[in-house]
Amino acid sequence: MNAEQQLELRRKVAELLVVRASGHALDSLREYPAWELSNQELKNLLRDGVGGVILYGGTVNEIQERTATLQSLCNTELLFCADVEEGVGQRFAGGSFLPPPMALGLRYLKDPDHTIKLAEEYGKCVGDQARRCGLNWVLAPVCDVNSNPFNPVINMRAWGSDPQIASVLACAFHKGIVSQGVMSCAKHFPGHGDTRVDSHLELPIIDHDFQRLEQLELIPFQSLIEAGVSSVMSAHVLLRNIDRTCLATFSSKILVKLLRKRLGFEGLVVTDALLMKSISDRYNSGEAAVLAFEAGADLLLMPREPFIAINALVEAFMKGRIPLRRLDQSLKRRRKAFCDIKKNCSNQFQKEDELKTQQFVKAKDISLVHKLVDVSIQIKNPHGIARSGDLVNLIKIDQALSSFQLCNSSPALMIPQQNGFRNIVCHPLGVSPWQDSEEEPLALDRLGSGPFLLQLFFRGNPFKGDQNMKEPWVAVVEQLQKDNLLSGLVVYGCIYFWERLLTVLEPSISAAYSPGQIPEAQEKILTALFAKSKGKAVSMNNSLEFTN
């Protein structure tokens, strides 16, 4: 192979990579600089022929400009994607942020037809806003069946804990997405729903065999394949009764024998992010890229060191470890996906320059958010919020910095404050609220004498592991009830956590639940709770305290 042929091979290999970049134009604004390439590195990779970019951060207007700028740097038609499973606003400010998919999974049995319609509207909203941002590939729907209530990473991201419900709703979402000229992606194959380990942090090990997968995990994937999904994402999980030595992303038994041959999938197979610790703690970027492509993947998402990944793949092809026909097959699948995108977009949507003059979030998007909140919240005994005493609004959130759930104007803070409550926010960087007592874990001497309104933002999230599960909130509810100090309880997020708290919650306590943690859900719940309360607030305290 001469120098010119080697250069062409390198360009083709680069087309297989999807690299991580910030949605912000300036390097100094990168939110995760350890993962997001600098502009110079990104420019070099695009000129080498890298075929895709996954974006995070910035506003919807910035993403419009960013995608146009990046496309201008290369001749390859780029795949622009993002993890916007719950709406474009999940990653990019200015877009719609929707309640999580499980909100509809919980609703399905009450009204199947309406729920399916809402799932399709959900997909249309995501697809329309993604396309207008410049994205052509949405890394959703999650097709995992969340059969394990203690799953720390899938959890509310799933469309249900029943395979048939998850299948129907994921298909409706997919239909909505593709109707807007955007590719979808079924993930995480062959199923990440029955794990107690977060693959962002360590490798989940699952004991299921083919028979179990066919009975549960594979049902949504099979339905999506039959519906024409363009891409499937592999899971970083080890199914040791199917392939004892290789995790799914590196297993030809799973990606070829099961996905390609048994389920008949002919589209793009993309890996989950290769910088996740379940991979990066065991393999360097070159080894991971070669193993994944060798096993049957077509696209390699977020290798930690893209240049090393390209070099390793080029060497594998040149030495014959991987046949060149595999490279041609993957590139053909990638180009077919682009043809499908263009076919869906032809003469159907306005030009991007016309779209910039419009309001980004449309009235129908706002209406959808409110409909989803309305059908998913639960309110119990809405008449007992205390209005006198040392009123404390105790809030628990997962993170202190750039938290979408909570800012100065969040209803979770403002509405209780307007009703005389003093706000205290627990987060991982603050001072601990705990004392050394299993029965009375909350240190009341540091927090106040109460009564307390508890607002718990609690759900499975990537990179959080099971840290939420270890916090003694069940004991806190029992402690406050015993001393007659619990005025109300609100849970935003995990349905399983809400159900655990209900087992100890006294019927007289005002309580509410929302799958979504968004401001619209906070306002709906708290307005209802305080509107039903009697009496007049006796104090106002505008302070905002932070603890852990």
Model pLDDT for residues 238-249, shown as the tens digit of each residue: 999 999 999 999
d(CA 104, CA 98): 11
Mean pLDDT calculated for residue range 124-130: 98
Give yes or no for residue 464 having a pLDDT over 70.
Answer: no
| Catalytic option among 192, 200, 208, 427 | 200
pLDDT at residue 379, rounded to an integer: 95
11 found inside a domain: no
**311 and 418 belong to one structural domain:** no
Domain that holds residue 535: 377-547
User: Can you give the pTM of this predicted structure?
Assistant: 0.93
Residue with more model confidence, 176 or 34:
176
**386 and 269 belong to one structural domain:** no
**359 and 502 belong to one structural domain:** no
The secondary element (H helix, E strand) that includes residue 394 is: strand 392-396
Give yes or no for residue 542 having a pLDDT over 70.
Answer: no
281 in active site: no
pLDDT at residue 349, rounded to an integer: 61
Question: Which residue in 115, 107, 108, 84 sits closest to 97, CA to CA?
Answer: 84
Which pair of structure tokens corresponds to residue 440?
Answer: 């009375």
User: Which of 316, 331, 364 marks a domain boundary?
Assistant: 364
Lowest average pLDDT, out of 55-59, 186-190, 466-470, 496-500, goes to: 466-470
Burial (CB < 10 A; 0-12, 13-18, 19+), residue 432, is exposed
198 in active site: no
Confidence of residue 75 (pLDDT cuts 50, 70, 90): confident
Mean pLDDT calculated for residue range 163-188: 97
How far separated are the first and last CA of the chain, in Å rounded? 60
Q: Report the CATH number that the domain containing residue 442 is assigned in CATH.
A: 3.40.50.10870
d(CA 37, CA 41): 6
Cα separation values, 41 from 19, 76, 77, Å:
11, 17, 19
Q: Is the peptide bond before 141 cis (omega within 30 degrees of 0)?
A: yes
540 found inside a domain: yes
Mean pLDDT calculated for residue range 146-161: 95
Give yes or no for residue 502 having a pLDDT over 70.
Answer: yes
Kindly report the number of other CB atoms within 10 A of residue 348's CB atom. Answer: 10
Q: Count each helix (H run) and each strand (E run) in the chain, helices first.
A: 20, 17
Lowest average pLDDT, out of 23-27, 71-75, 115-119, 427-431, goes to: 427-431
Question: Which residue in 313, 299, 314, 331 sits closest to 18, CA to CA?
Answer: 299
**352 and 235 belong to one structural domain:** yes
The average confidence (pLDDT) of the chain is 91
**318 and 212 belong to one structural domain:** yes
Give yes or no for residue 163 having a pLDDT over 80.
Answer: yes
Evaluated on CA atoms 352, 358, 361, 367, the torsion sign reads negative
Question: Which residue in 328, 288, 322 sits closest to 308, CA to CA?
Answer: 288
Give yes or no for residue 466 having a pLDDT over 90.
Answer: no
**356 and 381 belong to one structural domain:** no
Q: How many residues does the chain have?
A: 548
CA neighbours within 13 Å on the CB side: how many for 526?
24
pLDDT at residue 4, rounded to an integer: 87
| Catalytic option among 194, 198, 272, 365 | 272
23 found inside a domain: no
pLDDT at residue 538, rounded to an integer: 36
Buried b (16+ CB within 10 A) or exposed e, 324-333: eeebeebbeb
The separation between CA 345 and the C-alpha centre of its own chain, rounded to angstroms, equals 26
**What backbone torsions phi and psi does residue 197 show, to the nearest 5 degrees?**
-125, 140
Confidence of residue 545 (pLDDT cuts 50, 70, 90): very low
Give yes or no for residue 433 having a pLDDT over 90.
Answer: no
Amino acid identity for residue 152 in this structure: P
User: Which of 318, 337, 364 marks a domain boundary?
Assistant: 364
**496 and 533 belong to one structural domain:** yes
**387 and 354 belong to one structural domain:** no
Proportion of the chain above pLDDT 90, given as a percent: 80
User: Which of 319, 337, 364 marks a domain boundary?
Assistant: 364
**360 and 395 belong to one structural domain:** no
341 found inside a domain: yes
Buried b (16+ CB within 10 A) or exposed e, 1-35: eeeeeeeebbbbbbbbbbbbbbbbeeeeebeeeeb
Lowest average pLDDT, out of 93-102, 271-280, 331-340, 427-436, goes to: 427-436
Q: Report the CATH number that the domain containing residue 74 is assigned in CATH.
A: 3.20.20.300
Q: In whole angstroms, how large is the CA radius of gyration of the chain?
A: 24
Q: What is the pLDDT of residues 283-294, one digit of tens each?
A: 999 999 999 999
Give yes or no for residue 203 having a pLDDT over 70.
Answer: yes
| Cross-strand bridge partners of residue 53 | 19, 80
Domains in the chain: how many in total? 2
pLDDT at residue 209, rounded to an integer: 94
Give yes or no for residue 350 having a pLDDT over 70.
Answer: no
352 found inside a domain: yes
63 found inside a domain: yes
Proportion of the chain above pLDDT 70, given as a percent: 92
Q: Is the peptide bond before 451 cis (omega within 30 degrees of 0)?
A: yes
133 found inside a domain: yes
Evaluated on CA atoms 28, 29, 34, 35, the torsion sign reads negative
d(CA 44, CA 246): 33
pLDDT at residue 387, rounded to an integer: 81
**181 and 51 belong to one structural domain:** yes
Mean pLDDT calculated for residue range 311-339: 95
SS3 readout for 325-393: HHHHHHHHHHHHHHHHHHHHHCCCCCCHHHHCCCCCCCHHHHHHHHHHHHHHCEEECCCCCCCCCECEE
Contacts with 70 (C-beta within 8 Å, 6 or more apart), sequence order? 21, 42, 46, 53, 78, 80
Mean pLDDT calculated for residue range 371-390: 90
Evaluated on CA atoms 392, 398, 400, 403, the torsion sign reads negative
Give yes or no for residue 544 having a pLDDT over 50.
Answer: no
531 found inside a domain: yes
**236 and 334 belong to one structural domain:** yes
**215 and 329 belong to one structural domain:** yes
